[in-house]
Amino acid sequence: MKFLVLTLLVLSLIPVINSSMVPAHPPAELPSHLRGDPSSSFYLLPRYYESFWCTVYTGQNVTGTLNSTNPVVLFVMNSSQYQAFTQSGSFNSLFMAYGNNISFNVGPLPGGEYYVVVENNGSLNANGFLSYSAVPLVPFTVHSYLPAPVGIADYGVKNTSKGLQGYIVKFNEVVGEFTVNSISAYNSTPPSGISPYSATLQLNVVLQVNTVHGGYQYWLQDVLLFFTNNDTACVEDNVWNFTSYPSILSNSTLTGQGHVYPYREGNYIEYYYAYGISAFRYSTPFKGQLVMRTNVVPQGIEVMFGFYNGTMNWYDNVTIHESGVTSAYMLVDGFNTTGRGVRYDAELVFGGGGSGEITNFNSMNSTLSLMYVVNGVNETPQELYGYGADTAEAADNLKTTLVNGVPTVTLGQENFYEPLYPVGSPFGHFSFAVLRAEQGAPVVVNVSVQVFNGVGPYTYRFYLDGTLVKAITGGSTLNTQLNLGVLTVGSHNLTVIVEDGLGQTVSSSTNFVVGVGPVITISSQTILDYGQPLRVTIQVNGGTPPYTVLLHVNGSTYTVTGDEVTLNLTPGTYLIYATVTDSQGVSSTSGKEIVVVNPDPTIQLRFPSTLDVGEGGNVTYTVSGGTPPYVVTLYLNGTRVGNFIRFNSPGVYVLSATVKDSLNFTISKSIVVTVNPDPTISVTALSRLDQGQANLINVSVEGGTPPYKFSYSIPGVLTSTTSNPNFTVNASPPPGNYTFNVTVKDSTGFVTSKLITFQVNPDPSLQVEYNSSITEVNIPVLLFANISGGTPPYSLSWSTLGTSLGGSQTLLFHEPPGNYTVTLTLKDAVGFVVNRTVNILVYPRLEANISVQEGNSLVGGYAVLSALTRGGVSPYSYTWLLNGEKVGDQSSLNLSLSPGKYNVTLVVRDSFGVVSTSQVNVNVGYGYVVYLVPAIAIVVIGVAIGLRRRGT
C-alpha cells in the first residue's frame, strides 16, 4: 500500500512594519498575525490514504470536517493504532466514518500524538479538503520564549488534573485593574513615530456581533501608553476588524471621536480605528482601571471606552454600524478562533509603545486583575495565564507570578508552560453547628463549607446515617441550614461529600446526640388593641433545672424569671417565641406566636355635606385599625337612624357614627349636613315695551344648594346658560309676543323653572283727521286723532302758536284771522312721543252792505241796489227782500218804486253757510228825494260739516 504522511505546521509570524509610514494620530496597537486551524487539500487515488499528525494535550478533543468529491473513510487513531495501521493494515481506531462529508469530534483524550487518516477504498479518484484542530485550544503553544506581551490573559481554558477543560464566557463589560509601583522602558531602535521610552498596558478583548446576515468579530483595545522618561501617560483606543484578514473598516461603518486610519503590513493595507486623549502626569504607585462596555443600539453596537483614575472618564463612544443585529457581546471562548484566526481571549498585558514594538524594561513592578460583568454580576476569570496571544507589542524581559495570590508583573523570564492558577485536587474547610437535637423536635444543623482548588460547579451531598437527605449545587462556598426532622434519641452521623466539576471529591462528617431535653411552650393573646397589655404565659417541662428562659419579640430579647411576662407593645405585628437552656446546656425553642397589635380604630364617614329638601342617600363609612368585627351605629341629631336618610325639612343636621370593635374600644365621628330649601327663581321684566326698547330681564335664585346651572331662552331670539345666581338678560326683539323661560339646576340635581311673557309693540303711529283746513273767525274746526301701535294708554295734547289747547278736539279761532299751525302731540304708556301738525286758514267774519244808486220819476222813483261783501268764504249766495218778500237773488237789484215807505233786506250766505244781512229803508214821495237808512245784521244759519283727512 502506497501512502504519504503530511505534517502541518502552524507558524507564528511577527508583523513587519513599514517604518516610512508614520500616521499623525494615536499609534496602532497591532494584533498578532493570524493562525488558522490546520487544513489541507489533497488528491487520493484508489487504495491510497493520507494521514495528518496532531499533538493533543490531556483533556483535548480532536475535531474537524472533511469534504470529498467521492466517498472515503476517515479514521482518528492514537499512536499505537496508527503504527499498527501502517505496519499491518489494522483498522482499529478511536473513530471511523464513511462518506463525502464527515464531521468528527473525538475526546477528551489523554495527551499524546494522534492521527487523522483519510483512505480512498473506492474505485474512483477523490479530491478532499480536511480542516481539523485539537480543542480546547492550547495556551502553551502561543509562545515558547520571550519576547511576548506579559501580564494576565484568559483563554477560556483550564489546566486541571484531568487535563485541559474549555469554557465560554459572554460579557458586556470588562474591567482591567492595575497598580503600577514602578515602570521604566527603553528601546534604542523603536519603530518610526514610537518613543524609545514608551511602553503600553493594553486591555484587549474580542467583540462578537451576531446579525441576521451572519457573525462578525472586532478587536477592542483600551490602552494606557506610558512615556517612562518623563512620567507622563495618555489613554487611547483601537478597533480592528477580526472577521477576516486584512482588517477592513471605514469612517462610515465605524464612528466615534476618532477616525479610521490605514496601516501597511507587508503587502497588505489594514484599516483600524483610533482615538486618544491628551497626556497627563502620573506618579507611583499609579492605580487605575481600563474599562470597556458594549450595548446594542438602533444604529448597531455601541462600544464605550473608559479610564478610571479616581474619577471615571468615558473618553470615547464608538458606534459600529451593523444592520439586523440580534446580539453582541465580548467573548472568551476556549474552543474557537475568529475569522482572522486569532484567539477569543481577554488580555491585560504590558508591551512596547505601539506599531508592534518590542521593548526592554529597566524596571517593572505592577499588580493586575481582570473582571467581567455578566448579566449584571461581577465575575472573575476561571483561569489566567501570564502572557497574551492576540497582542503584537511585546516585552523582552518580563514575567508574571503570583504574590500572595495576586498576579504581579516584574522583570524576569515568563513561564509559558503553566497557568497562574493550576487546578489542584480540592480540599475544604467544614463547620457543623447543631442548633437543636432534642427528642420530639426537628434536628437543625448549620453547615458551612469552603472548598479550595478543584473546578466548579460543586455538588454538595448530605448523608444522615448513610442515607442521602439533600443535594445542593453551587460555588466554592456554602452556608446552609439542614432540617433533619424528628430523630430518635441517641447518636447520629451527618456526612458531607463535595464533588467538583471534574469528579474530584472531598468530604467531612460530624456525630451528634439527640437527647431528652427541656420543652418550652408559650401562650398569649394573638390580637389586641393598642394600649392593652400583652400577657405571655411560659411553661417549661423536662430537662434539668435550673433553666435560662429568654423571650424573643421581633429581635428583642427579654430574660424571663417567672411563668408570665407582661408587655406593652405599639401597633404592629410581632413574632414571639421563647428559648430555654437547661443546666446541662440542652436548649429548645418554643413554637412561634404571631401577635397583632392593632392601632385604635378609625372611621371615615362619607355623606353629602349639602342637600336640598326631599333629598337623601346612603351613609357609607370605612373602618380601619382596631380589632374586627366592628359594630357601627348611626345617629342624626342624637337620634339613631339607619343607613338611608332622607331630609324633608331644611336645616342644619349633625350626622354621627359610633364604632365599637371586638375589644370594646369605641370611637365616634361626626359631620354636619346642611339641608337647603328647594330653589326658587325670581324674574322681573317689562310686560309691554315698544320696538327698539331694551327689556332688562333680571333673574335671581334663592334656596337650593349652590353652585347653580341656569339655562334660559326666548324662543326664536336667544338661548344661553350661566352659573351666576343673579344675572340680567338684555332683550330687544322685534314687535311680537314673547315667552322667557328660565330653568335652574342646583348642585344636588334639583330642577325648577319659571316662565314670563312680554309684548313688544311697534312704534306708535299718529294720523290727524279734520273737517276742514279753512274756517272763519268764530267758526269751529273739528279735529280727530287716529292712533295705531305703541303702548296704551295714550295722552294727547293740542297746541298752536305755542299755546296749549289742552285735549280739546274742537278748535274755535277768534280774531285775528290768518294762517294757524295746529300741533297734536301723542305720548304712549312707555313715553314714546309722536307729533303731527295741521295748517288752518281762518278768514275774517262775513259782513254784507247795500249800495243804493237813486233816481227820480214823475210818478215816484227808482233805485239800483248792489250787495257789498267783506270777509267770509266765497262763493256767496244773495237774497233780496222787499218788505219781507223775496224780490231778487243776484248781487244787485233794480227797483222801480211808487211813492211810499219800503224796507229792503239783503241776506248774504257764504260757502260755510255763514249769513250776513243788511237793511235799508226807502221813502219814496212825489217829487221827493229817497232817503236810505241802512241796517246790517249777520246771522249764522248753519255750518255744513264735511270732514276730510289731513296731516303734516
Which of helix, strand or coil describes residue 84?
helix
At 86, is the secondary structure helix, strand, or coil? Answer: helix
Asked if residue 184 lies in contact with residue 339, where contact means CB atoms within 8 angstroms, the answer is no
pLDDT of residue 804: 66
- Distance CA(232)–CA(242), nearest Å, equals 31
Dihedral class, residue 807 (left if φ above 0, else alpha if ψ from -120 to 50, else beta): alpha
> From CA 547, how far away is CA 561, in angstroms rounded?
9
308 is written with which cell numbers? 478610571
Which SS3 state, helix, strand or coil, does residue 518 take? coil
Containing H/E element for 80?
A: helix 79-88
For residue 26, say if its preceding peptide bond is cis, omega within 30 degrees of 0. Answer: no
Mean pLDDT of successive 10-residue segments in the chain (952 residues)? 26 29 50 62 93 89 95 96 91 94 93 94 95 87 89 90 86 98 97 95 98 96 97 97 91 96 88 96 97 97 97 98 96 92 95 95 97 91 91 94 92 85 78 84 91 80 96 90 92 93 85 84 89 90 83 92 90 93 79 90 90 88 87 93 91 93 87 90 89 88 88 90 90 90 88 91 84 84 82 82 65 80 83 85 89 64 85 90 91 85 91 89 66 46 34 38
Q: How far is CA 711 from CA 193, 705, 749, in A?
A: 91, 17, 14
Q: What cell numbers appear for 504 in the block?
A: 474530584
Neighbours of 280 (CB within 10 A): 11
Which pLDDT tens digit goes with each residue over 227-284? Answer: 999 999 999 999 999 998 888 999 999 999 999 999 988 888 999 999 999 999 999 9
Buried b (16+ CB within 10 A) or exposed e, 735-755: eeebebbbbbbbbbebebebe
Q: What is the DSSP letter of 139?
A: G
503 in helix, strand or coil? coil
Torsion sign (Cα): 402, 403, 407, 412? negative
Contact 191, 359 (CB under 8 A): no
Q: Whole-model pTM? A: 0.47
For the purposes of burial, counting CB atoms within 10 Å of the CB of 391, is it exposed (0-12), middle (13-18) or buried (19 or more)? buried
Pairwise CA distance, residues 450 & 456, whole Å:
12
Residue found under cell 456526612 = 495
Task: Give the whole-angstrom CA distance, residue 349 versus residue 389.
Answer: 10
C-alpha torsion sign, points 308, 309, 311, 313: negative
Q: Please enumerate in sequence order all residues whose Cβ is within 8 A of that of 578, keeping only pairs 6 or more positions apart, or say none.
A: 520, 522, 536, 538, 549, 550, 551, 552, 560, 589, 590
What pLDDT is recorded for position 405?
85
Residue type, 95: F
- Alpha carbons 271 and 242: distance in angstroms, whole number: 11
CA distance 167 to 900: 184
To which residue does cell 334660559 refer? 712
Q: How many Å apart are CA 361 and CA 541, to the nearest integer?
A: 78
Report pLDDT for 856. Answer: 57
CB under 8 Å to 312, separation ≥6 — which residues? 291, 306
With 0-12 CB in 10 A as exposed, 13-18 as middle and 19+ as buried, what is 657? buried
Strand partners, 431: 448
Contact present, 681 and 752 (Cβ < 8 Å): yes
**C-alpha to C-alpha distance for 165 and 167, rounded to whole angstroms:** 7
Give the bridge partners for 317, in sequence order. 304
Spatial separation of the C-alpha atoms in residues 177 and 309, rounded to whole Å? 10
Residues contacting 354, CB < 8 A, separation 6+: 26, 27, 28, 29, 30, 191, 193, 194, 198, 200, 225, 393
pLDDT at residue 13, rounded to an integer: 27
The DSSP symbol for 34 reads P
C-alpha–C-alpha distance, residues 531 and 803, integer Å = 105
CA–CA distance, 43 with 69 (Å, rounded to integer): 10
- Among residues 201, 405, 370, 372, the alpha carbon closest in space to that of 286 is found at 201
906 closest CA partner among 863, 943, 942, 945: 863
Q: What is the pLDDT of residue 502?
A: 65
Q: Are 109 and 62 in contact (CB under 8 A)?
A: yes
Q: What is the CA radius of gyration of the chain?
A: 67
Q: How far apart are the first and last CA of the chain?
A: 153
What whole-number distance in Å separates Cα of residue 216 and Cα of residue 208?
6
d(CA 906, CA 916): 8
690 close to 745: Cβ distance less than 8 angstroms: no
